[in-house]
């Protein structure tokens, strides 16, 4: 029997709770700042009980499905209450701010913490959109305090197994944030900016898969993504500068009616896609 605590019962936290309920013999304790959401999770059987201060040390695994700053604030507040039994893993979208603050707290108070980021989600948010198979086959990125603690990584993999992740990668907080600026954050910025074209209001009847693919993540939680973008602003700004420079090449070639340059730029993109994704 595994005991799992989950802080934050939105799409990610709710899906984690449902996954553990479906795939393992578990007791699920949960907490959310919105009491009505937590009460609904209890009444619907997603949770077994509320995660209270005295239950923190009873958990085998505690997962934080909240924003980076909220993770730091929660762990700082309850640092003396976790004890040595649980493994703490956060699921926040950036890692430097979390790991820089929490690794020293773990060392000071004797609890065990690994930074984490499940690479799965949806443009919908909230507990009502959560589902047990959200993480099935998805990558999970881990940021451990040290890279030579094989026992700790094995423990993390075992405890995370019921979620159904297909691949677990290990990296540093800085490398995670650098990559996530490109693979996730830049895509959200581009999608959100793209849909703001005045032409978008007249797209019906003229759009197909390309439009749907480009705009899927434009429907975002502005508060959450503002925090993530600003916390990772250095890496995200670098990616935006690269993209703006490339877009400028396309625009100049079109303005100049320079078919050779435009063809070359387009072929470069096609070749790069082939090289990167096979």
What domains are there in the chain, each with its CATH number? 2-171 (3.40.50.720), 176-277 (1.10.3660.10)
Q: Is the pLDDT of residue 270 over 80?
A: yes
pLDDT of residue 203: 85
Q: Is the pLDDT of residue 32 over 80?
A: yes
Model pTM?
0.92
Euclidean distance between CA atoms 211 and 64, whole angstroms: 34
Q: Is the dihedral of CA 81, 83, 89, 93 positive or negative?
A: positive
- Average the pLDDT over 243-252 and give the result: 98
Distance of CA 227 to the CA centre of its chain: 13
Task: Give the span between the Cα atoms of 37 and 129, in whole angstroms.
Answer: 13
Contact 202, 68 (CB under 8 A): no
pLDDT computed for residue 278 by the predictor: 77
pLDDT digits (tens, 9 = 90+) for 86-97: 999 999 999 999
pLDDT confidence bin for 272, thresholds 50/70/90: very high
Q: pLDDT band for 165, please (50, 70, 90 cuts).
A: very high
CA dihedral (70, 76, 82, 86) positive or negative: positive
Burial pattern 200-214, b for ≥16 Cβ within 10 A else e, equals eeeeeeeeeeeeeee
For the chain, what's the residue count? Answer: 278
> Does residue 16 come out as left (phi exceeding 0), alpha (psi in the -120 to 50 range) or beta?
alpha
Q: Is the pLDDT of residue 123 over 90?
A: no
Sequence-distant (≥ 6) Cβ neighbours of residue 62 within 8 angstroms: 4, 5, 6, 7, 56, 82, 86, 87, 88, 89
Residue 68 sits at the vertex; the CA angle it makes with 62 and 71, to the nearest 5 degrees, is 35
Q: How does the average pLDDT of the chain come out, rounded? A: 95
67 has pLDDT over 90: yes
What was the pLDDT predicted at 24?
75
Report the share of the chain in percent with pLDDT over 70.
100
């Amino acid at each position: 029997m595994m005991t799992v605590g989950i802080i934050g019962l939105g799409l990610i936290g709710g899906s984690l709770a449902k996954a553990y309920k479906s795939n393992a013999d578990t007791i699920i304790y949960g907490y959310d700042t919105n009491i009505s959401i937590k009460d609904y999770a209890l009444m619907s059987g997603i949770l077994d009980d509320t995660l209270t201060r005295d239950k923190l040390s009873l958990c085998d695994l505690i997962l934080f499905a909240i924003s980076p700053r909220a993770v730091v604030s929660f762990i700082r507040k309850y640092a003396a209450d976790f004890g040595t039994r649980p493994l703490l893993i956060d699921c926040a979208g950036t890692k430097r701010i979390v790991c820089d603050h929490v690794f020293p707290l773990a060392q000071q108070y004797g609890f065990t913490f690994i930074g984490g980021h499940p690479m799965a989600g949806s443009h919908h948010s909230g507990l009502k959109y959560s589902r047990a198979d959200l993480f099935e086959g998805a990558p999970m990125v881990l940021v451990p305090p040290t890279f030579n603690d094989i026992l700790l990584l094995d423990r993390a993999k075992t405890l995370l197994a019921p979620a159904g992740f297909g691949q677990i990668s290990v990296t540093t907080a800085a490398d995670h944030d650098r990559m996530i600026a490109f693979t996730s954050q830049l895509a959200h910025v581009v999608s959100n900016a793209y849909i703001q074209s005045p032409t978008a209001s007249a797209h019906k009847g003229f759009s197909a898969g390309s439009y749907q693919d480009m705009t899927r993540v434009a429907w975002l939680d502005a508060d959450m993504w503002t925090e993530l973008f600003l916390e990772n602003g250095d890496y995200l700004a670098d990616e935006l500068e690269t993209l703006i420079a490339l877009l400028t090449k396309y625009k100049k070639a079109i303005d100049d009616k320079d078919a050779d340059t435009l063809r070359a730029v387009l072929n470069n993109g096609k070749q790069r896609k082939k090289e990167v994704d096979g």
